[in-house]
């Protein structure tokens, strides 16, 4: 109690966003403490199957930023020890012919947004992905989608951070941000320890508002639970990352009425659940698949209905998976902002406060956001303009 330590910067939350922020702040020469309530990677960053999707991004800032993040992933893959990054390409497959117009509209929209996507018929699809089931009739192919092991990426960043003299404090819960005048002075932990620091980075994922509210700030995100599961090593590999037709209801292309697209019986067990039909092979041969999701749910455990849906529909997309042992089932919670983009913002009062939260597609954006944070803290113009990621963008414009 009452103990105090001093750093140039303290980063709250050791998910991919916070860990990358800490790593790049350290590389800028700051002394840095990185905190987590449990351990680095405890949140969604340690629980997601590692997809880097470009096809799911809409034209405009979301696509432009995602492409910049994707280029950055290549850079990182060249700099860090192997974190499973592979430019695998990605498929959104569909079984039901009624989804074909949605797939077609999706392709037109993404081509207009600058992505090299194309519609594949079953024969072309089988060349890329021989293990698809007989029900699958076509797919949208994007060669830029990719895969990584985000847990490994985070481990390399956290390890490099420690080796470079950074301090990881975990388990440690930040309880309050200490303010002096209109500037950050540090934080207080739940055990009473004070950390003096003029720069405070909030990277607490869907728990960030607990701290921001004390400063009268709030990100209007919705917590969303995403579920996943893992098989034992499979006797086959799925080279591209794959998702399925239900995704067209989530990322509905212009001109398509999502409510008219048919839902599978297993998607009706609990109508509040959505589904994305994702699957990827890991280097050890295991398959990670899902993802049932529930908007507005902060429950970080897998549910019976979510797993039932994933197991049933994934077995139809890839019948060879049906006989494999399931070795793990889990869920994580993600912060979903109204525009799906994160808040990366140093403009908010008090001085020294940097927000790096609200990452909905943190596999892509997390590491890059960390570099942006460090550049802002160092007083340089960041490598990517952050005006579109301000907290104020959510506030109604005053009359």
Please give the residue ranges that form the binding site for ligand FAD (CB under 6 A): 12-18, 35-38, 42-45, 47-49, 51, 53, 173-174, 203-205, 207, 211, 226, 228, 290-291, 332, 334, 357, 359-364, 366
CB of 301 to ligand FAD, least distance (A): 11
Between 14 and 256, name the residue whose CB sits nearer to ligand FAD: 14
Q: Where are the beta strands (DSSP E) in the chain?
A: 4-6, 9-12, 32-35, 51-52, 90-94, 118-121, 138-142, 146-147, 167-169, 174-180, 183-189, 194-196, 199-202, 222-231, 241-243, 274-281, 287-295, 326-336, 343-345, 353-357
Between 125 and 302, name the residue whose CB sits nearer to ligand FAD: 302
CB of 364 to ligand FAD, least distance (A): 5
Cβ-based neighbours of 60, under 8 Å, separated by 6 or more: 113
Between 136 and 168, name the residue whose CB sits nearer to ligand FAD: 168
Between 110 and 359, name the residue whose CB sits nearer to ligand FAD: 359
CB of 188 to ligand FAD, least distance (A): 11
What size, in residues, is the chain?
399
Cis preceding linkage at 350, omega within 30: yes
CB of 77 to ligand FAD, least distance (A): 16
Cα–Cα distance for residue pair 57/61, rounded to 1 Å: 9
> Concatenated DSSP letters for 340-382?
S--EEES-SSSBTEEEEE--SSHHHHHHHHHHHHHHHHTTSPP
Between 129 and 331, name the residue whose CB sits nearer to ligand FAD: 331
CB of 118 to ligand FAD, least distance (A): 21
Cβ-based neighbours of 265, under 8 Å, separated by 6 or more: none
Between 49 and 382, name the residue whose CB sits nearer to ligand FAD: 49
CB of 96 to ligand FAD, least distance (A): 22
How far, in Å, are 1, 172, 174, 189, 350 from residue 192 at the CA level?
Answer: 5, 10, 10, 5, 22
CB of 48 to ligand FAD, least distance (A): 3
Count other C-beta atoms under 10 Å from residue 143's C-beta. 16
Between 328 and 392, name the residue whose CB sits nearer to ligand FAD: 328
Count other C-beta atoms under 10 Å from residue 262's C-beta. 11
For the four alpha carbons of 233, 238, 241 and 243, in that order, the dihedral sign comes to negative
């Amino acid at each position: 109690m009452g103990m105090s330590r001093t750093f140039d910067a303290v980063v709250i939350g050791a998910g991919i966003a916070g860990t990358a922020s800490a790593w790049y702040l350290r590389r800028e020469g700051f002394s840095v403490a990185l905190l987590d309530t449990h351990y680095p990677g405890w949140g969604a960053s340690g629980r997601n199957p590692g997809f880097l999707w470009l096809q799911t991004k809409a034209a405009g800032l979301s696509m432009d930023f995602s492409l910049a993040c994707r280029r950055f992933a290549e850079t990182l893959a060249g700099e860090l020890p192997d974190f499973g990054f592979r430019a695998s390409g990605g498929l959104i497959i569909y079984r039901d012919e009624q989804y074909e117009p949605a797939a077609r509209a999706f392709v037109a929209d993404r081509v207009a947004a600058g992505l090299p996507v194309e519609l594949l018929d079953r024969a072309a699809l089988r060349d890329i992905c021989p293990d698809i089931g007989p029900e699958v009739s076509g797919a949208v192919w994007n060669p830029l989608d990719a895969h990584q092991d985000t847990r490994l990426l985070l481990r390399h960043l956290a390890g490099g951070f420690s080796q470079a003299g950074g301090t990881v404090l975990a388990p440690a819960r930040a309880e309050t941000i200490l303010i002096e005048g209109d500037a950050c002075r540090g934080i207080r932990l739940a055990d009473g320890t004070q950390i003096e620091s003029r720069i405070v980075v909030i990277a607490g994922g869907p728990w960030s508002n607990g701290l921001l509210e004390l400063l009268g700030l709030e990100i209007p995100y919705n917590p969303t639970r995403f579920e996943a599961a893992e098989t034992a090593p499979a006797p086959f590999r799925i080279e591209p990352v794959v998702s399925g037709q239900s995704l067209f209801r989530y990322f509905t292309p212009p001109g398509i009425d999502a409510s008219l697209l048919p839902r599978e019986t297993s998607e009706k067990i609990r109508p509040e659940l959505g589904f994305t039909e994702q699957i990827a092979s890991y280097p050890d041969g295991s398959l990670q698949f899902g993802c049932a999701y529930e908007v507005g749910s902060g429950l970080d455990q897998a549910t019976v209905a979510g797993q039932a849906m994933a197991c049933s529909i994934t077995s139809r997309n890839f019948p060879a998976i049906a006989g494999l042992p399931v070795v793990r089932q889990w869920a994580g919670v993600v912060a979903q902002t109204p525009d799906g983009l994160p808040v990366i913002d140093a403009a908010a009062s008090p001085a020294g406060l940097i927000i790096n939260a609200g990452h909905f597609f943190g596999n892509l954006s997390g590491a890059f956001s960390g570099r942006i944070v460090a550049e802002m803290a160092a007083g340089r113009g960041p490598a990517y303009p952050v005006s579109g990621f301000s907290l104020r963008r959510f506030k109604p414009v005053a009359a």
